[in-house]
Amino acid sequence: MLMAVHFEPHTEAPVHVHDEEQITLVVEGELEFEIDGEVRQLTPGMVAVVPANVSHGARTKDGACLEFDVFNPPRQALLDLASDARRRASE
């Protein structure tokens, strides 16, 4: 599953855990990315790999950021949200 994520400046994705492996690629801007308590600054072209069931989160500072997330296997919770949104849009 591939997902594009745009973070506005001063946006946070709180630390969380999920069953799927995640690979994050920063395309534009900068992203402060935390994996299992270790914080690193990601810039365009940099990748972070998050094993399944490992805590992680991200935040932007003064600038926006565009990144792509790949989940393996696909995140069922996100698929369910997309399905619900399509259903509501067709009502």
Q: pTM for this one?
A: 0.87
User: Which CATH number fits the domain that encloses residue 26?
Assistant: 2.60.120.10
Give the model's pLDDT for residue 2.
94
Number of domains in the chain: 1
The mean per-residue pLDDT over the stretch 21-25 comes to 98
The per-residue pLDDT for range 24-71, each reduced to its tens digit, is 999 999 999 999 999 999 999 999 999 999 999 999 999 999 999 999
CA geometry: angle 45, 10, 6, nearest 5 deg: 45
Residues with Cβ within 8 Å of residue 85, at least 6 apart in sequence = none
The residue segments making up the domain with residue 85 are: 2-90
Q: Who wins on pLDDT, 76 or 46?
A: 46
